RNA sequence: GCCACCUUAGCUCAGUUGGUAGAGCAGCGGUUUUGUAAACCGCAGGUCGUCGGUUCGAGCCCGACAGGUGGCUCCA
């Protein structure tokens, strides 16, 4: 693409990908004349088209479809644009036996404008403003005609490199009750080279998949006997969890947060009061007592925390009260949702609830945003995220609890905090929690899938439902406000993100094993020095292992490389004689070109120091 | 939950048109005593995810279930 501006290139990519969606649809139509089409938009790396064939497609059909697409590309059919009044378009959709297009057109006619967001404006031949719809546009290539706003490339021969990637079920218009269509995905780029690079990038991403690394680095495991969605951490994985817990506890202390502790189940009545039982009944694990009571495993911790608040009278002078804990919660997720550490049935959260006065909301929410920002900055993750300002769906008020006026106030306050900290938050309607608006901090996994970690949620509703109060300056009883918050969200997701972010090469303070001592041979002197070194390292809280196996040094080094151990020292005659060590440092940690020698004390002292510089010390 | 695909040793994978299972690594034993990414020899390890069906005969064909993967939907 010589002499083409990035903007023009972007436009071409979009038009070309969209054209490929049409070409794919044409090919499918030739192969299966009965095919009914849904929508076929452009996505980040290519395009897809939703198709109802009355039968399932499988990857085995890809070769056939791709071959047909190449035929159409060789035919170099021009893309012709034309317009029809909406009523004629409806006649067209009826005659062409395209019920999905017909539904879109009918909805469009009824709505009258493009303002209704779920009308897939891009798919329809309509302008993207609020103007009255009169005409809709079509594009035709060969004998295939599709409702479409365009633009397209001139002809089918003008598209770039593509590859059909996958097929998946997708509900028509994203609604679970609707028929399921086949969504055919394709990757497309301007050149073969870019396509190859993209495919290579996907292969690379798979290598840092936390499920693969979790197995290779011996961090966590699943068992069919224990059950799906129930991860277990090995000793190595648990080290990481514990280090993070320690860091969080350190932060908590510095910000006057108080650790609390609650049991993992409660009577269902607790969640009837909170409102969770109604909205999330399907996801509750129920536990039957022998004595006529029904319990549920806690799916959240806020109701328990309200009962700690309620355990004694509170004064305005007591507030804010910041309860936090690191605890496991349980949700009976649908089998199809579970996967790796991204969504599990039991997961540990760093949950916290601040009870405060309305005039303290700003300060409390601001503090949390600051803590979150610092925490992620220090792990190098800040900037790899976006913030969702999640508010109510105005069309579905029944999905929420609490007064509308409280909601408005809460939304305004959070918006202000978000503004002040330049969070660049995207307003997401319908993404709020049942009890209030929230700021969600979203991150991407190795394969580009989004996941929510940190969150700050305002809640005027739940304290009222539990009848929580404090006594204000004039002796009046007032409901407190609750702020639900998490810094890392769930440990499972957070660990997933860390594994993939570092590709398993954890910073020293998180590394399950910080130092490995390798012996050159099994003589007594060397083994003795190894044992001594290990003892000294352990005294300094360095996580250390000795490899005194009867194997070559090369082999032992290779093992430490594969396990991504940060520091390795080899002990042989040389070291025994000189008493000096020449550490081998994992590449990403080493700033020096050449290996340097240290006395045992120097080396261990430096290492112990570096290992302490965890996220809290530098930041908070 | 829905659609598609996958499941062979602890791990990564072979396994011809259906004729009764193989490799490398890891493990264990021995030889070797090793200097910065894989020493050598041997041994052991599998009701081919489970159950049922077709067949003279099933790792291979069919079905159900379980588990996993990619999406969709959901996510307090």
DSSP state of A133: P
Residues of chain A whose pLDDT is less than 70?
1-4, 112-133, 614-620
Residue spans of alpha helices (H) in A4-141:
6-31, 62-75, 86-95, 99-111
Question: Smallest Cα–Cα separation from A19: which of A118, A154, A147?
Answer: A154
Looking at residue A235, its pLDDT comes to: 97
Query: Does residue A205 lie within 7 Å of nucleic acid chain B, judged by its CB?
Result: no
Q: Is the dihedral of CA A407, A410, A414, A415 positive or negative?
A: positive
Of A residues 430-469, those with CB within 7 angstroms of nucleic strand B are: 433-434, 447, 449, 457
Strand B: which residues 476-535 of A lie within 7 A (CB)?
Answer: 484, 520-523
| Cα angle: A603, vertex A606, A608; to 5 degrees | 105
**Which tens digits make up the pLDDT trace of A316-337?**
999 999 999 999 999 999 999 9
Q: Which nucleotides of B are covered by protein (CB under 7 A)?
A: 1-5, 11-12, 26, 31-39, 66-76
From the CA of A160, how many Å to the C1' of B61?
Answer: 41
CA A59, C1' B51: Å apart?
28
So what's the pLDDT on residue A223?
93
CA angle A130, A132, A137 (to 5 degrees): 100
Q: Would you state the pLDDT for residue A612?
A: 86
Q: How far apart are CA A115 and CA A125, in angstroms?
A: 14
pLDDT value of position A123: 56
CA distance A466 to A329: 21
- Spacing of C-alpha A402 from chain mean position: 29
Helix axes A62-75, A6-31, angle to 10 degrees: 110
Q: If you search the block for the tokens 């099994």, which residue do you land on?
A: A522
| A566 is near strand B: CB distance < 7 Å | no
Nucleotide with C1' nearest the A274 CA: B76
Question: Would you state the pLDDT for residue A58?
Answer: 82
> Do strands A42-43 and A46-52 pair parallel, antiparallel, or not at all (unpaired)?
antiparallel
The gap between A176 CA and B52 C1' (Å) is 33
**A246 token code pair:** 């320690």
A334-366: burial string, b at 16+ Cβ within 10 Å, e else: eeeebebbbbbbbbbbbbbbbbbbeebbeebbe
The tokens describing A380, both together, are 């190098």
Instruction: Quote the tokens at residue A258.
Output: 């108080």
| CB A414 within 8 Å of CB A437 | yes
CA quadruple A167, A169, A173, A179: dihedral sign: positive
Query: Do A73 and A23 contact (CB within 8 A), yes or no?
Result: yes
Per-residue pLDDT of A583-617, as tens digits, reads 999 999 887 777 899 999 999 999 999 998 765 43
CA of A224 to C1' of B4 (A): 23
Centre a 10 Å sphere on the Cβ of residue A195 and count the other Cβ atoms it contains.
Answer: 19
Q: Give dist(CA A106, CA A99) in Å, integer.
A: 10
Residue nearest to nucleotide B34 (CA to C1'): A552
Rounded to whole angstroms, the distance from the CA of residue A555 to the C1' of nucleotide B29 is: 20
Residues 271-300/A with CB within 7 Å of nucleic chain B are 276, 280, 283-284, 299-300
Residue A349's DSSP bridge partners are A327, A490
Provide the residue count of chain A: 620
Question: Is nucleic acid strand B under 7 Å from A550's C-beta?
Answer: yes
Tokens at A339, concatenated:
């996967």
- Which residue is the nearest neighbor of B37, CA to C1'? A558
């Amino acid at each position: 693409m010589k002499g083409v501006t990035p903007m023009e290139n972007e436009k071409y990519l979009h038009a070309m990908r969209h054209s490929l969606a049409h070409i794919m649809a044409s090919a499918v139509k030739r192969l299966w004349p009965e095919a009914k089409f849904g929508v076929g938009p452009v996505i980040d790396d290519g395009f897809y088209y939703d198709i109802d064939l009355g039968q399932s497609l499988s990857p085995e059909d890809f070769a056939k479809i791709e071959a047909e697409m190449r035929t159409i590309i060789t035919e170099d059919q021009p893309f012709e644009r034309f317009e029809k009044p909406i009523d004629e378009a409806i006649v067209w959709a009826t005659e062409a036996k395209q019920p999905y297009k017909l539904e879109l057109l009918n909805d469009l006619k009824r709505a009258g404008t493009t303002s209704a967001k779920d009308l897939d404006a891009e798919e329809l031949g309509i302008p993207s403003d609020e103007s009255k719809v009169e005409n809709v546009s079509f594009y035709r290539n060969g004998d295939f005609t599709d409702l479409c706003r365009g633009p397209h490339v001139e002809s089918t021969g003008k598209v770039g490199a593509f590859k059909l990637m996958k097929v998946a079920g997708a509900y028509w218009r994203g609604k679970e009750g609707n028929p399921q269509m086949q969504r055919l995905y394709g990757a497309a780029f301007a050149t073969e080279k870019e396509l190859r690079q993209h495919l290579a990038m996907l292969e690379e991403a798979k290598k840092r998949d936390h499920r693969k690394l979790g197995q290779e680095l011996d961090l966590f495991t699943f068992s069919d006997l224990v059950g799906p969605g129930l991860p277990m951490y090995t000793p190595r994985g648990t080290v990481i969890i514990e280090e993070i817990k320690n860091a969080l506890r350190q932060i908590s202390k510095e910000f006057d947060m108080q650790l609390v502790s609650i049991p993992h189940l409660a009577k269902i009545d607790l969640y009837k009061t909170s409102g969770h039982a109604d909205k999330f009944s399907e996801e509750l694990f129920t536990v039957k007592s022998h004595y006529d009571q029904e319990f549920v495993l806690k799916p959240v911790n806020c109701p328990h925390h309200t009962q700690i608040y309620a355990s004694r009278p509170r004064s305005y002078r007591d507030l804010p009260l910041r309860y936090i804990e690191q605890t496991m919660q349980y949700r009976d997720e649908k089998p199809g949702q579970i996967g790796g550490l991204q969504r599990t049935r039991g997961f540990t959260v760093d949950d916290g609830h601040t009870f405060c006065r309305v005039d303290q909301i700003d300060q409390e929410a601001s503090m949390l945003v600051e803590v979150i920002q610092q925490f992620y900055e220090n792990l190098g993750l800040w900037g790899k995220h976006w913030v969702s300002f999640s508010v109510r769906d105005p069309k579905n008020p029944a999905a929420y609890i609490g007064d509308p006026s409280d909601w408005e106030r809460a939304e305004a306050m959070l918006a202000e905090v978000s503004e002040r900290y330049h969070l660049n938050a995207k307003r997401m309607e319908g993404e709020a929690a049942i009890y209030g608006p929230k700021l969600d901090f979203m991150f991407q996994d190795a394969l580009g899938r989004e996941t929510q970690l940190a969150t700050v949620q305002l809640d005027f509703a739940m304290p009222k439902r539990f009848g929580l109060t404090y006594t204000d300056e004039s002796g009046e009883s007032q409901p407190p406000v609750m702020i639900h918050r998490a810094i890392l969200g769930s440990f499972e997701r957070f660990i997933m993100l860390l594994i993939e972010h570092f590709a398993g090469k954890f910073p020293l303070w998180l590394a399950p094993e910080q130092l490995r001592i390798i012996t050159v041979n099994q003589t007594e002197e060397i083994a003795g020095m190894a044992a001594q070194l290990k003892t000294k390292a352990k005294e300094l809280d360095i996580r250390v292992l000795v490899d005194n196996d009867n194997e070559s040094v090369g082999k032992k080094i290779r093992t430490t490389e594969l396990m991504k151990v940060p520091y390795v020292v080899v002990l042989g005659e040389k070291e025994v004689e000189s008493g000096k060590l020449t550490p081998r440092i994992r590449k990403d940690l080493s700033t020096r070109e050449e290996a340097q020698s240290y006395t045992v004390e120097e080396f261990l002292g430096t290492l112990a120091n570096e290992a302490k510089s965890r996220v809290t010390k530098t930041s908070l």
